[in-house]
Amino acid sequence: MIDKRIPKVYNLEKGGGTLKEEKIEKLARLIYSAMPQLRRDYIAPPHKIDEKLPRHAIFCLLILKKMKKISMSELADRLGVSNQQMTRIVNDLENRGALLRETDEKNRRQVNVSLLPDGEELAMYYAKQAMDIFREKFSGLNEDELDALSYHLSECFRLIQKTENKNR
């Protein structure tokens, strides 16, 4: 039976299928119901971060901060954007002096990007802003609740990665 407490934010087709299919439908409703709040409250809320850059550019900086050097196509894949959109994002960041774009020495068709010192500084700024938001949001939880949230999010991420690997 599908849990009636899950809001029906999105009108997803209800199938008359198996218990497994009902569980998949429940997961889809949960994910689609959570997305707007996660996007609004946790993914760079506009009222908290002085948006000098579009969100995709901020996420690009944060990925580069962690990866150091990455190909444009892999970066586009990680951001979930097209190669054309990635080119626009990289052009903007390159014009701001935040990153370096260079052709790969081994594969001339591949273009790699990495952060310059100004990009490192910007990435640190936005990482701090994001951490401040999370501290504020989670400060009302006690240690047991924080442990539970951490465990369940880790498990969600692990299982979602398992589906990603299966689809590739």
Q: Which domain holds residue 4?
A: 1-41
Structure tokens at 160: 């979602």
In a 13 Å sphere around the CA of 65, the CA atoms on its Cβ side amount to 19
In terms of phi and psi (left: phi > 0; alpha: psi -120 to 50; beta: otherwise), the region of 80 is: left
- Whether 25 and 61 share a structural domain: no
Looking at residue 156, what is its pLDDT? 86
* Helical (H) or strand (E) element with 45: none
5 pLDDT above the threshold of 80: no
List C-alpha distances in Å: 148 to 6, 20, 41, 69, 73: 20, 25, 20, 34, 36
Residue 166 has pLDDT above 70, yes or no: no
Q: pLDDT-based confidence at 11, cuts 50/70/90?
A: very low
Dist. CA 95–CA 99, nearest whole Å: 8
pTM here is 0.69
Q: Does 60 lie in the same domain as 17?
A: no
pLDDT digits (tens, 9 = 90+) for 47-59: 555 567 788 888 8
Provide mean pLDDT across the span 159-164: 82
Supply angle C-alpha 7, 8, 13, rounded to 5.
145
**37 in the same domain as 59:** no
> Which of 41-45, 109-113, 155-159 ranks highest by mean pLDDT?
109-113
Residue 33 has pLDDT above 90, yes or no: no
Judgement on whether residues 32 and 85 belong to the same structural domain of the protein: no
37 with 63, same domain? Answer: no
Q: Note the pLDDT of residue 10.
A: 47
The CATH number of the domain where 61 resides is what?
Answer: 1.10.10.10
DSSP string computed for 47-95: TTS--SS-HHHHHHHHHHHHHSEEEHHHHHHHHT--HHHHHHHHHHHHH
For every residue of 90-120, DSSP letters joined together read: HHHHHHTT-EEEEE-SS-TT-EEEEE-HHHH
The number of folded domains in the chain is: 2
What's the whole-number mean pLDDT along residues 98-103? Answer: 93
pLDDT tens track for 54-97: 888 888 999 999 988 999 999 999 888 999 999 999 999 999 99
In degrees and rounded to multiples of 5, residue 111 shows phi and psi of: -110, 125
Asked if residue 151 is part of any domain, the answer here is: no
* Region for 19 from its dihedrals, namely left if φ exceeds 0, alpha if ψ lies in -120 to 50, beta otherwise: alpha
Mean pLDDT of the chain: 82
